[in-house]
Amino acid sequence: MNAGAGTAAPAHPGAGSEQIAEAVRRLRAGAVVAFPTETVYGLGADAESAAGVAAIYRIKRRPSGHPLIVHVPDRASAEYWAEIGPRAAALMAAFWPGPLTLVLTRRPGVAALACGNESTVGLRCPSHPVARQLLAAFVASGGHGIAAPSANLFGRVSPTSVAHVFDDLGAETPLVLEGGDSEHGVESTIVDLSRGFPALLRPGSISAAQIEEVLEEPLEGPGAAAPRVAGALAAHYATATALELVAPEALAQRVAQCLERGERIAVWSQRNPGAGAALTWEPAPMEPVAYARRLYATLRRLDAQSVNRILVEEPPAAAQWLAVRDRLGRAQAGAGAR
């Protein structure tokens, strides 16, 4: 059932040992590096370095105190940050390494800055081979975890390639470890285990049904008392261009309305809504895994088309599309607000 170890990663160029060593040196010195994971590219710093964590917030223009996810190479490293109860142990055994973040009660005395000074910590063990090399070398050097949000400006479309990192961070781009295009394309599933019951805080590639099967109990919703976590704001993953989700049966009419107003539009849909110089069409995958893998790259490409509006055909309202629908809904809420 292990989502990381059980699935072969796609072939891609990897970082060499010298580049990994240089990345570790920079992390230990309080600097940041960007590195690939199976979900998106991360902007990483030593989770116990005040200077490194502050650099993440500054480079991303991220609101202070917004918690970061701490990446670790294994359960043993996770135990430095939090006590591992039976639920956490079961989910780690099933899905680590892989795209699952667990929110646990933080041990007293461990660094709180990367955790937004919350009493909890979000822990993840990525499966990408470059991320695993980096984490292994970092822990061998005396480190305990790498805090890493996505390597893009806060609130904008997440990066799934090295080019996306450079596009967003520009002159602030740190050392970037190459790892090919991200395998999953959307951020990790986040499950909160800090309140005595399991709760889904963010959907991802690992579904609620898979988690419930392992735990043998239902997942709750976030609830009003849920700890703050990455990617949970109503407006996130946003394009600079206005973006609308449109029901399939209403798409043709909405396209016609926009064109009649003289707008240049880009459309991401399963069927071609029509031709014309004022319309750019991107065919949408009909399968949720392929759609998720292409989601952010497609949004970035359409955002660069110099159009007035992006119309996205709503994906099906089925459980396997939950992560995609979550990201698109948040993208719509924040789009155009630059």
Query: How distant, in Å, are the alpha carbons of 42, 85, 183, 206 from that of 38?
Result: 10, 26, 5, 12
Question: Of 222, 242, 240, whose CA–CA distance to 231 is shortest?
Answer: 222
Give first-to-last CA distance, the chain, whole Å.
Answer: 42
pLDDT of res. 117: 86
pLDDT in tens, 193-210: 999 999 999 999 999 999
Task: Count the Cβ atoms, other than its own, within 10 Å of residue 200.
Answer: 21
pLDDT-derived band at 229 (thresholds 50, 70, 90) equals confident
pLDDT in tens, 312-329: 999 999 999 999 999 999
Question: Of 142, 294, 333, 319, whose CA–CA distance to 219 is shortest?
Answer: 319
* Superfamily of domain 17-215 in the CATH hierarchy: DHBP synthase (3.90.870.10)
**Cα separation of 338 and 336, whole Å?**
6
Mean pLDDT is lowest, of 83-92, 171-180, 245-254, 272-281, for 272-281
Pairing state of beta strands 199-202 and 42-46? Answer: unpaired
pLDDT of res. 216: 98
**Cα separation of 266 and 173, whole Å?**
29
| pLDDT of 8 higher than 60 | no
Task: Count the Cβ atoms, other than its own, within 10 Å of residue 89.
Answer: 12
Structure tokens at 17: 């040992």
pLDDT of res. 6: 34
In percent, the amount of the chain with pLDDT more than 90 equals 85
DSSP 146: E
pLDDT of res. 203: 97
pLDDT of res. 42: 98
Which amino acid does the sequence have at 48?
Answer: E
Residue spans per domain, the chain: 17-215, 242-334
Taking phi over 0 as left and psi of -120 to 50 as alpha, with beta for the rest, 313 belongs to beta
**Cα separation of 125 and 164, whole Å?**
23
Cβ(291)–Cβ(273) under 8 Å? Answer: no
pLDDT of res. 249: 96
Question: Of 40, 232, 74, whose CA–CA distance to 148 is shortest?
Answer: 40
Rg of the chain's alpha carbons, rounded to an integer?
20
The arithmetic mean of pLDDT across residues 113-129, rounded, is 94
Structure tokens at 194: 């800090």
Our separate counts of H helices and E strands in the chain read: 10, 13
The arithmetic mean of pLDDT across residues 232-242, rounded, is 88
pLDDT of res. 100: 98
**Cα separation of 39 and 249, whole Å?**
32
Fold of 242-334: Rossmann fold (3.40.50)
Q: What are phi and psi of 156, to 5 degrees?
A: -95, 180
Structure tokens at 171: 């002159």
Cβ(224)–Cβ(217) under 8 Å? Answer: no
Identify the residue with better confidence: 165 or 5: 165
Cβ(83)–Cβ(64) under 8 Å? Answer: no
Identify the residue with better confidence: 227 or 247: 247
Helices assigned H by DSSP within the chain? 17-28, 50-60, 75-81, 86-95, 129-140, 162-169, 208-215, 251-260, 288-303, 322-334
| pLDDT of 67 higher than 70 | yes
User: What count of Cα atoms within 13 Å lies in the side-chain half-sphere of residue 303?
Assistant: 24
pLDDT of res. 5: 38
**Cα separation of 311 and 251, whole Å?**
8
DSSP 68: -
Q: Three-state SS for 149?
A: coil
**Cα separation of 271 and 268, whole Å?**
9
pLDDT of res. 4: 41
